A and B are shown apart, each in its own frame.
Chain A
Amino acid sequence: MKDYMLIFRHQNGLDVASPEQIQIWMKQTMDWLGTIAAQGKYDGRGNGLVFDDARVVHHNKMVTNGPFGEIKETLGGYVIVKAESADEAAEFAKGSPILMGEGNTIEVRQLAREDGIH
């Protein structure tokens, strides 16, 4: 079993969504993660990344408020799931409501292991 980070890249569609739509999106996400948790492969590790009050520091030490990369590739958050392989982790990712937005993607990356044991 390895740890994989599922990194969400999407336009921040939530800022134009209505409260009702936000609640629906949230329920979909909870249902999705619930399925993974039920298999013992998600334990709450993860976070949204706040778009407000963010900074980008450039190589010339200039600090700006954004843009944070291509609009469609803005990092929105991540979760960490357990899986035997990247393919299994990618299968988990398929259930995320983020993928309902065309152009949104989820990047699947294994967390580097320090102990070299498992």
Chain B
Amino acid sequence: MQQELIPHLFRTEYRKIVSVLCRHFGLGQVEIAEDLASDTFVAAAQTWALKGLPPNPTAWLYNVAKNKAKNHLQRHALFEGKISPAIQTNAPEFYETEVDLSPQNITDSQLQMMFAICHPSISPEAQIGLSLRILCGFGIEEIADAFLSNKETINKRLFRAKEKLRELKINIEIPNESEIEERLAPVLTTIYLLFNEGYYSVSQNNILRKDLCLEAMRLCTMLVENPLTNKPQVNALLALMCFHASRFEARIDKNGEYVLYDEQDTSLWDPELISKGAYFLNCSATGTELSKYHLEATIAFWQTQKTAVKEKWEIVLKLYDQLLQIAPSPIAALNRIYVLSKIKGKREAIFEAEKLKLTGDQFYFALLGELYTDIDNETAKLNFQKALKLAKTATDKQTIQKKIERL
């Protein structure tokens, strides 16, 4: 056959069309936007499969989407009851039925949808679900797979989230200057959660995990590229994700198992992503606010420098100290202990770790297991076994099992 279709073309164009249609129809009619967009792709699939690709596939899609939107409006406008009797007597040409699919409006619509979806009144899981569906063009099954859930649960979650959006009558717009810092916070949280879904994913689907990370980075890039949202912490988050993503290829071996940081083949680390990260880290070094993203990005930067020098660990330890002050979390505390062990040795680290008493956390016991290894292998084994009991995913269990075997 003739030209090949770009991979993910449908997913890419779907989310652009949905965002524009959502904005056009309003958040109360999100399902209509989704249906119209879906119909467009079904039409494309049927026609192109039988007749071959059109010369300009994207233009074809946009034309059909616009026509479907127009038809829908003309068929339903009079029944929606939103039109006052006075206007009803006039001809339908009064209403703006032309959907604007210019590049600028596509970008604007997606940005605005990001703020509408990542609204603090909607639960974080619902925010991610909606983001995956509307901003990233993922299907229900794909989302269910990412969360190790099922279609019914995800459907319910999205349904309730859309109800909430309707209820709250949220406007689809970029917040103004005075509110933007505040409204950016949940957007960044969602993007970071999305990235983590891909990075530490429970799903066994490796391609899906990488896609999630790339989508998160793409959304963050959109924020950086818009002057209204190009804030220091946004650049920091992007840097952070670049640094982590640079190790993507090295983290999973041929058997689909996790390769620990210390054992990774550094030649598989992506130097381009590392320099990108460094670039954005630089860009983030402005303003007066030190956000947790700044700290995590700097820590992530040091992780891309494989030198095992003591100075590196001391710098990273200080960063963790700061991080724990502004954004305390069990994971940060555990990571800090690990760094501590590199500077002060395992015994000191064990002493600090046991003070934490994070007894519900598999990573706590895994860390203790690590620290006790070669000091007291019996205790190490006990701790690894506790970690194994708490571990949820097959990959995690495998990793811990291997450590027990190596004792």
**A46:B43 contact, CB within 8 angstroms:** no
Residues from chain A with a CB closer than 8 A to the CB of B10 are 19-20, 22-23
Known: A27-B5, A30-B1, A79-B50. A20 touches B45 (CB 8 A): no
Give a binary string over B136-175; 1 marks a CB under 8 Å from any A CB, 0 the rest: 0111111000000000000000000000000000000000
* B14 touches A (CB below 8 Å): yes
Q: Does B83 contact A (CB under 8 A)?
A: no
A15 to B31, CA, bound (A): 13
Question: Would you call A19 and B46 a contact (CB within 8 A)?
Answer: no
Q: A44-B52, A48-B47 are in contact. Are A21 and B139 (CB under 8 A)?
A: yes
Question: Whole-angstrom distance from the CB of B130 to the nearest CB of chain A?
Answer: 15
Inside 8 A of B138's CB, which chain A residues have their CB? 18, 20
The B interface, classified by DSSP as helix, strand, loop or mixed, is helix
- Known contacts A19-B13, A26-B45, then 14 further A-B pairs from the complex at CB < 8 Å, ordered by chain A residue: A16-B140, A18-B141, A19-B10, A19-B14, A22-B10, A22-B41, A23-B9, A23-B11, A27-B5, A30-B1, A30-B49, A46-B50, A48-B49, A77-B50
User: Closest 9 A-B residue pairs measured CB to CB?
Assistant: A18-B139, A48-B46, A29-B49, A19-B10, A19-B14, A23-B10, A26-B45, A46-B50, A19-B11
List, in ascending order, chain B residues with CB within 8 A of A18's CB.
Answer: 11, 137-142
* A23–B42 touching, CB < 8 Å: no
B60 at interface by CB-CB < 8 Å: no
Do the beta carbons of A52 and B142 come within 8 Å of each other? no
B38 CB–A CB distance under 8 Å: yes
In chain A between 5 and 58, which residues have their CB closer than 8 angstroms to a CB of chain B? 14-23, 25-27, 29-30, 33-34, 37, 44, 46-48, 50, 52
Chain B residue at minimum C-beta to C-beta distance from A42: B50
Say which size band chain B's interface belongs to: 20 to 34
Residue of B with least CB distance to A16: B140
Separation in Å of the A77 CB from the closest CB of chain B?
Answer: 6
Closest to B37 in A: A19
A18 to B39, CA, bound (A): 11
CB–CB B48/A26 < 8 A: yes
Output the least CB separation between B6 and chain A (Å): 9
Give bound CA distance, A50 to B142, whole Å: 26
Q: Specify which chain B residues have a CB less than 8 angstroms from the CB of A50 in the assembled complex.
A: 43
Q: Whose C-beta in chain A lies nearest to the C-beta of B45?
A: A26
* Nearest CB on A from B53, distance (A): 8
Q: Is B8 interfacial (CB-CB < 8 Å)?
A: yes
Asked whether, in the complex, the Cβ of A14 is within 8 Å of the Cβ of B50, the reply is: no
Shortest Cβ distance from A95 into chain B, in angstroms?
13
Contact partners of B140 in chain A: CB under 8 A: 16, 18
The answer to whether A19 touches B137, judged by C-beta atoms less than 8 angstroms apart, is yes
Whether A23 contacts B50 in the complex (CB less than 8 A), given A15-B38, A17-B139, comes out as: no
Q: Which of B1-60 contact A (CB under 8 A)?
A: 1, 5, 8-11, 13-14, 38-39, 41-52
Residues of B within 8 A of A21 (CB): 139, 141
CA–CA, A17 to B137, complex, Å?
11
B43 touching A48, Cβ below 8 Å: yes
CA distance in complex: A18, B52 (Å): 21
Q: A18-B140, A30-B1 are in contact. Are A23 and B49 (CB under 8 A)?
A: no
Q: How far is the CB of B209 from chain A (nearest CB, A)?
A: 15
Which of chain B's residues has its CB closest to A47's CB?
Answer: B50
User: When chains A and B are docked, how far (Å) is the Cα of A46 from the Cα of B51?
Assistant: 8
23 A-B pairs with CB atoms under 8 Å apart are: A15-B39, A16-B140, A18-B11, A19-B11, A19-B14, A19-B41, A20-B137, A20-B138, A22-B10, A22-B42, A22-B44, A23-B5, A23-B8, A23-B9, A23-B11, A26-B5, A33-B50, A34-B1, A44-B50, A46-B50, A47-B46, A48-B46, A48-B50
Which of B8, B11, B49, B141 has most A Cβ within 10 Å? B49
Find out whether the CB atom of A30 lies under 8 angstroms from the CB atom of B48.
yes
Q: Which A residues touch B5, using CB under 8 A?
A: 23, 26-27
Of chain A, the residue at the smallest CB distance from B11 is A19
Given contacts A14-B45, A15-B38, A26-B44, whether A20 and B51 have CB atoms under 8 Å apart is no
Q: A23-B9, A30-B1 are in contact. Are A44 and B51 (CB under 8 A)?
A: yes
CA A34 – CA B5 in complex, angstroms?
14
| Chain B residue with Cβ nearest A28 | B49
Which parts of A58-83 form the interface with B (CB within 8 Å)? 76-77, 79
Taking a contact as CB atoms closer than 8 A, the residue among B1, B38, B48, B142 that contacts A20 in the complex is B142
CB distance from B102 to the nearest CB of A (A): 21
* Cβ contact within 8 Å between A20 and B46: no
Closest to B143 in A: A18
**Shortest CB–CB separation between residue A38 and chain B, in angstroms?**
9
**Which of chain B's residues have a CB closer than 8 A to the CB of A34?**
1
Give the residues in chain B near A52, CB-CB below 8 Å: 39
Alpha-carbon distance A21/B208, docked complex (angstroms): 13
